[in-house]
Amino acid sequence: MTIYDKTNTFPLVSMNRVLLFVGLALISGIGLSFGIHSLLVGHDHTFGTSREVPWGILVSPYVFFACLSTGLCIVSSLGQVFAIETFQPIVPRTVFLALITMATGLMCITLELESPWRVGSYALLSPHQSSNIWWKTTIYSLYLIFMVFNFMSLALQKKKRAKVFAIIALVTVTMGNLNMNSDMELLGARGFWSENYMPLYFLSLSTLTGCGAVLLFSWLGKAVSNQTPSIKDNEALKATGKLFMVLLLGILYFTGVKVMGGFFPQFTKNPEAMALLVQGSFAPNFWIGEVGLAVLLPLALILITRGNNSTVLALAGISCLTGVFVLFYDLVIVGQLIPHYFQYHVVDLPQYYSYSPSLHEIMITTGAIFFFLAAFVLGEILFKKVYLS
């Protein structure tokens, strides 16, 4: 008999979850402490960015988690907004995941800024309605508030009220997602974000990652809580798996468009960046991450098992999420590596700019990922009854 059995303060499984949460939180705290240090000493001393490459790896988790939250919101809306009964069992956990993913994304972009306190003050005191960044900050902040109220309403069994907040949140985050590429174009990333298919690509990619996260974290949630999935849970995951497979086929098409742009300049607005991605030094990222992990491996796993094995679906989910994270890193970095005015053959201008993530950037990114994982485990501890209702 263990000490926890004697005191009966926590059941054995609950104590294991508490210890898991504490471990994840400690790792997150260590990583995020590097962000605090960067704010104190200045990004010039701790980040690998430069005047030529002003955005580093920290923008990648921001875009990743923001798009993931959008996808999770869309998947949860299938159950609570569009009243598709099959998806309703996964709604509470999916809403909570959407909430913590957006919180993680906003935390990443906050630590990426050298003076993040100016965002809140200037956004309120001197809003600039023609600024894409102002709109994106406002939209995502409002969306986070709506999702908090949505989850609170679900926890209180106020389903009609929850549906109202879910509708507002869905409209809000979809607006932000469809305009994601317009923010990145402001960077002057050599047209890499301005392809005509980008809005639809982002929305499809967001929904894909949302499905992958539902498959993975629904399985993990049951494993952490030592629960046996109900028949309704399994049906919801199978339906999510089918939607996941359809979206994989759609993203496979967009990946084919990238390949065409990488080999044939006439198919893209930025042939130099596409060639660097598909054929150059970023080719391993593209072929292993964006093609293999993000699309082909998940698609193969689902087709082989016909989407009937929840463990395999979870593996497909984590493979896809890993590949998409690599995809967003490439999308943020590669376009910036093409020098300005390269077409004019300026003397001593390098063929490509260079960028390597610093230790601080890597640790902050790690801290953000573990923050999300710790929040997920905390949700499994605090909201178990909400997820089962």
The residues spanned by each domain of the chain are 22-383
Q: Residue by residue, what is the 3-state secondary structure of 228-240? A: CCCHHHHHHHHHH
What CATH class is the domain 22-383?
mainly alpha
Each residue's pLDDT, cut to its tens digit, for the chain (389 residues) gives 343 344 344 444 478 889 999 999 999 999 999 999 999 998 888 999 988 888 899 999 999 999 999 999 999 999 999 999 999 999 999 999 999 999 999 999 999 988 888 877 777 788 777 777 777 888 888 999 999 999 999 999 999 999 999 999 999 998 888 777 666 666 655 556 677 788 889 999 999 999 999 999 999 998 887 777 788 888 999 999 999 999 999 999 999 999 998 999 888 878 888 999 999 999 999 999 999 999 999 999 999 988 888 899 999 999 999 999 999 999 889 988 988 777 767 777 888 899 999 999 999 999 999 999 999 999 999 988 888 76
Dihedral through CA 275, CA 319, CA 70, CA 216, nearest 10? 180
CB-CB contact of 290 with 327 (8 Å): yes
* Torsion sign over Cα 105, 317, 148, 33: negative
Distance, CA of 29 to chain centre: 20
Query: What pLDDT is recorded for position 137?
Result: 81
Q: Distance between CA atoms of 76 and 162, rounded to whole angstroms?
A: 11
- In the chain, alpha helices (H): 3-7, 12-41, 43-46, 59-80, 91-112, 117-125, 132-155, 159-178, 180-185, 198-225, 231-263, 271-278, 283-284, 297-305, 310-333, 359-382, 384-388
